[in-house]
Amino acid sequence: MTYFTMQLLNGLQIGSIYALIALGYTMVYGIIKLINFAHGEIMMTAAYSIYFFITLLHIPFIPATLLAMLLSMALGMLIEKLAYRRLRSASRLSALITAIAVSLFLQTGYAILFTPDPRAFPVTASSFPVFYLGEVPLSSWTLITIAVALAVMILLQLFVTRHKAGKAMLVVSEDVKGAYLMGIKVNNIVSMTFAIGSALAAIAAALFIVSYPQITPYMGAMPGIKAFIAAVLGGIGLIPGAMLGGFLLGLIETMTRAYIPASLSQLSEGVVFIVLILVLLLKPAGLLGKSEREKV
């Protein structure tokens, strides 16, 4: 039972990180129907920014994260403007290939700039105090991760449903041309979506590198793909879907890793991909999505 509770908390912890990244994917997909393959790489760049702010400029962890969020927002908007804006009416194939190219560019660019060698992050989860719930050891970092993620998600949900700009975002994702005719500045809204998504990725990066204190240029790829799967699992384009999908995927992954027989441990890496294929088979619109009939 103790083991199970521990795994449950671990699952929620990694799941909240997946959920934060998945929000960026799902918002961008909802608004311009593009899988932003570079999203995981934005998280990677944020991790490097936080690392350098702390080690070179000696800024404390939280201000460093806030600065990294600003940098990622700028990067996200820059990528959108330079790489994606011209392709909004182009074929999906071109847009996807461009997204892959941007992700390759950031990966190799960072590998060349900062060498591909892993760097150890100075702040680790073990430096946070541990509580005991009965017999279950409970790191306060786990609680902080889950709480931060939940707070950010609630803020985002409030922004989207209450604030004018957030509502404009929903309108654009509904109908671009209609939004334009209603006087919404579509380009600004798309930029804003990228900025918000990138800021969330930076928060996810901060939470991720404390839990797994290793920074490499390729660290964004796997969490990025898994977060995308989380977004699909919850229903892509839906903000609550991304949250639900993230938590579920984190739980599924941790539980399989914990309970799979040791001889099959290699297979646990593939479980999330099997989840993806199953979701697409059984409910292609995702758990919260409604399947729409296609209009010609």
Partner 1 sequence: MPKSKFVSYSINLAAALAVYLLFHFLFSSGIVSRTLIDLFTLCCIFATAAVSLNLSTGLLGELNLGHAGFMSVGAYTAALITLAAGRSGNVGILLLSLLAGGLTAALSALVIGIPVLRLRGDYLAITTLAFGEIVKVLMRSMKITGGGQPLTGIALDTTYTIGYWALIITLIVIYTLIRSRHGRAIISIREDDIAAEACGVSVTKYKLIAFSFSAFFAGIAGGLYAHYAGVLEPSFFDYNQSVNFMVMVVFGGIGSLTGSVLSAFFLTLLPEFLRGIDTYRTLIYSVILVFLMHYRPSGLLGQRELSQRGIARVFRRERLEAQPISGVGGGRAVERENVPASGSAERKADSALRDRTGTSSGTPEEPLEHRMKGRR
Chain positions contacting partner 1, by CB under 8 A: 29, 32-33, 35, 83, 85-98, 100-102, 104-105, 107-109, 112, 176-177, 179-180, 185-187, 190, 221, 225, 228-229, 232, 264, 266-267, 269-270, 273-274, 276-277, 280-281, 284, 294-296
Cβ neighbourhood burial of 154 (10 Å; 0-12, 13-18, 19+)? exposed
Six-digit token pair at 74? 């700028």
Six-digit token pair at 191? 């930029």
Q: Which is nearer to partner 1, 69 or 176 (CB)?
A: 176
Number of CB atoms found within 10 A of residue 7's CB: 16
Residues 6+ apart with CB under 8 A from 123: 54, 61, 210, 213
> Smallest gap, in angstroms, from Cβ of residue 50 to partner 1?
24
Six-digit token pair at 83? 């790489």
Q: Which is nearer to partner 1, 29 or 53 (CB)?
A: 29
Specify the DSSP element, H or E, that contains 236: none
Report the alpha-carbon distance of residue 36 to residue 28 in Å, rounded.
7
Which parts of the chain are beta strand (E)? Answer: 119-120, 130-133, 136-139, 214-215
> Smallest gap, in angstroms, from Cβ of residue 140 to partner 1?
34
Q: Which is nearer to partner 1, 156 or 232 (CB)?
A: 232
Six-digit token pair at 193? 């979506």
Q: Which is nearer to partner 1, 101 or 130 (CB)?
A: 101
> Smallest gap, in angstroms, from Cβ of residue 290 to partner 1?
16
Q: Which is nearer to partner 1, 146 or 176 (CB)?
A: 176
> Smallest gap, in angstroms, from Cβ of residue 56 to partner 1?
24
CB 40 within 8 A of CB 103: yes
Q: Which is nearer to partner 1, 137 or 178 (CB)?
A: 178
> Smallest gap, in angstroms, from Cβ of residue 2 to partner 1?
29
CA 155 to chain CA centroid, Å, is 16
> Smallest gap, in angstroms, from Cβ of residue 70 to partner 1?
25
> Smallest gap, in angstroms, from Cβ of residue 33 to partner 1?
5
Cβ neighbourhood burial of 58 (10 Å; 0-12, 13-18, 19+)? exposed
CB 289 within 8 A of CB 235: yes
Q: Which is nearer to partner 1, 52 or 105 (CB)?
A: 105
Specify the DSSP element, H or E, that contains 53: helix 39-55
Q: Which is nearer to partner 1, 46 or 176 (CB)?
A: 176
> Smallest gap, in angstroms, from Cβ of residue 83 to partner 1?
6
